[in-house]
Amino acid sequence: MLTSPLRFIGWVGRGQWRTLLGGVAFGITWMVAQALIPATIARAIDDGIIGGDRGSLWLWSGALLGLATLTALAGAGRHQLAVTNWLRAAFRSVQLIGWHGANTGEALPRDTPTGDVVAAVASDSMRLGGLYDVTARFAGAIVSYVVVAAILLDASRPLGLVVLIGVPVLVSLLSFIVRPLQKRQTQQREEAGRLIGLGADTVAGLRVLRGIGGESTFLNRYAAQSQQVRVVGFRVAGVQAALDAAQVLLPGVFVVIVTWLGARFAIDGRITPGQLVAFYGYSAFLVMPLRTATEFVDRFTRAYIGARKIIRVLSVEPDHPTDASSDGGVGVSSRPEPPADAVLADERSGLAVEPGRFVAVVSARPEESAALADRLGRFGADVDGVTLGGIPVLDLPLGVVRRRILVSETDPRLFTGTLRDELDPWGTHSDAQILEAISVASGEDMLDVLDDGLDSEVEERGRSFSGGQRQRLALTRALLADAGILVLVEPTSAVDAHTEARIAERLAAHRAGRTTVVMTASPLVLDRADRVVLLAHGRVVAEGTHHELMHGPKAEHAAYRAVVVRGEDHQQEQPAGIR
């Protein structure tokens, strides 16, 4: 499927072959019915009007009415299935990218620019779907061309050959414009992807940029890239305009030539007046198959480029081979699933988390404990040595790992929608359960200021909430997942001491009997933990209760006190405005 754009296009088409076949049937019926109209008019003129046969006139008039009705009905069916095929192909591509993104985890953003992924979803998938939109009309264009060829050659071989040969010549002439258009569209797509990636990176780091005064620098970079996209867009527009103009000019000239030759043949008596009208009608009708053919070439070009970009995203290999299993990333393993009371252990650090315990991990380097959290949840490429119930997490299906172990995000991300959907995207919890989780996260004050409570709309990226509020909402969402093993990374770093104390007390009570691992240096949280471990250079160097580590005589106890006291001083000095 991913070996070439053509194979990918074919794979998508096979996935919706029924609607594609139905669209082709309607497309052929729709266009052939139109192709027969000039011949019907010719017979009505020759037999009914010139021949003076009133019965023939009524017969062919009725046939004309029937063809018009058939054209209308088939056109409606064709259009409906064309839109269906377009949207299904686009949505199928978007789903595939989404599934692949979930399977590859951090490998995708690490190897592929964010702009390329966004463009593949928002733009390339629609370009790919556009090909299946025009497929039905293209099939109808081919069949109607054959039907018209038989009619014209039967009426006048010389004039029929002029019409039938002229159409392919016009299509070949247009190919000289399509080729440079394809190259410029590819360049435009690449420049637009860079612009999207630059914008995404700038927005993600906006607070940091403001802090260091770098907004103007990145604004200038974005403006420069925007100008580059504009310049490339102008180049594409010029060639596209030439193609659009050629689609009007060349068929127009062709119709003039055919009309002139047909008039000469009619004067010489080589064709009847009705056949002259038919030839003129077919000259005008063949413009539609011609434009459909050029549109198909253009859509195919766009789809080919889009498929190539989608394949580039889908070709990113996951960090772990089992992520790419045939069942959509759930994974296949012959090992039994670990029991509910399994021990979560990391051989590299020496950490072993007993089931049902509240464990806190302290480190002088927060990035060290955050990396350990990622390892425990099987995020990233470096997770060797992590076991659940003695089974390496790499040997477990990814779906099992995600269901059993939940690692909260260090950077809370909120999406648009209602607060209820934000906190409970599964829709499996009652309002009472959601409110209980909010209470554990000490978030009652947030609901007090929201007019519609849980039905209140969350703005993009949750920008209407402060950093501390976003952090508490993320904690609420993690609690509602009700994971057997919950790993939290600095869940109270953005709140004040009073709120932190409430969260620590409520969290310990709420998670009683279930395994919880918290990466933190907060003494308020550490005091509630059943067990505290100290990391140094990636290894566990001390463990015990918070009280034991704070008052122990050893050097590692002194190191623990230094980390905890520093964290306590930082918490006290933190301005209330950023909590």
Q: Which long-range contacts does 419-427 make (Cβ < 8 Å, 24+ apart)?
A: 419/450, 419/453, 419/454, 419/455, 419/456, 419/457, 419/458, 419/473, 420/454, 420/455, 422/458, 422/473, 422/477, 423/454, 423/473, 423/476, 423/477, 423/480, 424/477, 424/480, 425/477
Same domain, 270 and 174: yes
CA 109 – CA 95 distance, rounded (Å)? 17
Q: What is the CA radius of gyration of the chain?
A: 34
Q: What is the CATH number of the domain that holds 398?
A: 3.40.50.300
441: nearest Cα among 415, 407, 470: 470
**The total number of residues written for the chain in this structure:** 579
Same domain, 46 and 115: yes
Buried-exposed string 491-504: b where 16+ CB fall within 10 A, e elsewhere: bbbbbebebbbbbb
What value does the mean pLDDT take over residues 477-502? 91
Dig out the tokens for 65 from the structure: 């009415």
Residue 23 domain boundaries = 5-317
Dig out the tokens for 492 from the structure: 């109270």
Same domain, 66 and 145: yes
Stretch among 15-19, 158-162, 189-193, 480-484 having the lowest mean pLDDT = 189-193
Same domain, 257 and 393: no
Q: Which strands form 391-392's sheet, in the order they lie side by side?
A: 351-353, 344-346, 386-388, 391-392
Q: What's the confidence (pLDDT) of residue 417?
A: 83
Same domain, 36 and 135: yes
Same domain, 300 and 404: no
Beta carbons of 305 and 186 less than 8 angstroms apart: yes
> Which amino acid is residue 259, in one-letter code?
T
**Residue 115 pLDDT more than 60?**
yes
Query: Would you say the C-alpha torsion 136, 141, 146, 148 has a positive or negative sign?
Result: positive
**Residue 171 pLDDT more than 80?**
no
Q: What is the CATH number of the domain that holds 304?
A: 1.20.1560.10
To 10 degrees, the CA torsion angle through 308, 311, 312, 315? -150
**Residue 565 pLDDT more than 60?**
yes
DSSP string, 284-340: HHTHHHHHHHHHHHHHHHHHHHHHHHHHHHHTPPPSSGGGG-TTTTS---SSPPPPT
**Residue 577 pLDDT more than 50?**
no
Triad 477, 480, 486: Cα angle to 5° = 85
Q: What's the confidence (pLDDT) of residue 1?
A: 60
DSSP 48: I
Q: What's the confidence (pLDDT) of residue 320?
A: 63
Residue 477, domain member (yes or no): no
535, containing H or E segment: strand 531-536
Triad 438, 442, 447: Cα angle to 5° = 60
**Residue 534 pLDDT more than 80?**
yes
Residue 204, domain member (yes or no): yes
Out of 188-192, 384-388, 420-424, 492-496, give the one with best mean pLDDT: 384-388
Triad 142, 143, 144: Cα angle to 5° = 95
pLDDT tens digits, 311-363: 988 888 876 655 444 344 444 455 678 888 899 999 999 999 999 999 999 99
Beta carbons of 124 and 12 less than 8 angstroms apart: no
Task: Give SS3 for 543.
Answer: strand
Buried-exposed string 134-162: b where 16+ CB fall within 10 A, e elsewhere: bbbbbbbbbbbbebbbebbeebbeebbeb
CA 424 – CA 434 distance, rounded (Å)? 8
388: nearest Cα among 299, 310, 249, 487: 487
Q: What's the confidence (pLDDT) of residue 108?
A: 81
Stretch among 190-194, 209-213, 273-277, 300-304 having the lowest mean pLDDT = 209-213
Stretch among 22-36, 273-287, 489-503 having the lowest mean pLDDT = 273-287
pLDDT tens digits, 437-458: 999 999 888 887 777 888 888 8
* Phi, psi angles (nearest 5°) of residue 19: -70, -30
What value does the mean pLDDT take over residues 500-525? 94
> Which residues, 6+ apart, have CB-to-CB distance to 327 below 8 Å?
none
> Which residues, 6+ apart, have CB-to-CB distance to 284 below 8 Å?
255
**Residue 149 pLDDT more than 90?**
no
Q: What's the confidence (pLDDT) of residue 203?
A: 59
Domain count, the chain: 2
Q: What's the confidence (pLDDT) of residue 470?
A: 87
pLDDT tens digits, 218-232: 677 778 878 888 887
> Which residues, 6+ apart, have CB-to-CB distance to 562 below 8 Å?
364
Q: What's the confidence (pLDDT) of residue 328?
A: 41
Same domain, 235 and 118: yes
CA 37 – CA 49 distance, rounded (Å)? 17
Beta carbons of 349 and 535 less than 8 angstroms apart: yes
Mean pLDDT score across all residues of the chain: 83
Same domain, 251 and 382: no
Domain boundary among 278, 299, 317: 317
Dig out the tokens for 12 from the structure: 């998508």
Same domain, 134 and 252: yes
Residue 464, domain member (yes or no): no
Triad 62, 64, 67: Cα angle to 5° = 110
Out of 74-83, 177-186, 287-296, give the one with best mean pLDDT: 74-83
Residue 234, domain member (yes or no): yes
Dig out the tokens for 33 from the structure: 């019915």
Same domain, 145 and 266: yes
372: nearest Cα among 512, 490, 219, 270: 490
9: nearest Cα among 317, 237, 307: 307
* Phi, psi angles (nearest 5°) of residue 539: -120, 150
pLDDT tens digits, 362-384: 999 989 999 999 999 988 767 88
Residue 436, domain member (yes or no): no
What value does the mean pLDDT take over residues 540-557? 91
Residue 446, domain member (yes or no): no
Triad 516, 518, 520: Cα angle to 5° = 165
Placement of tokens 């039994």 in the chain: 336
Residue 20, domain member (yes or no): yes
pLDDT tens digits, 42-57: 889 988 888 888 888 8
* Phi, psi angles (nearest 5°) of residue 557: -70, -40
What value does the mean pLDDT take over residues 242-249? 74
**Residue 132 pLDDT more than 70?**
yes
Question: Could you give the maximum distance between any two Cα atoms of the chain, in Å?
Answer: 121
Residue 424, domain member (yes or no): no
**Residue 567 pLDDT more than 60?**
no
Is the pTM higher than 0.75? The answer reads: no
Same domain, 281 and 348: no
Stretch among 97-101, 220-224, 429-433, 541-545 having the lowest mean pLDDT = 220-224
500 against 277, higher pLDDT: 500
Placement of tokens 């054209």 in the chain: 71
Dig out the tokens for 289 from the structure: 């198959």
Same domain, 227 and 356: no
pLDDT tens digits, 398-438: 888 888 999 987 667 777 888 888 888 888 899 899 999 99
Q: What's the confidence (pLDDT) of residue 323?
A: 44
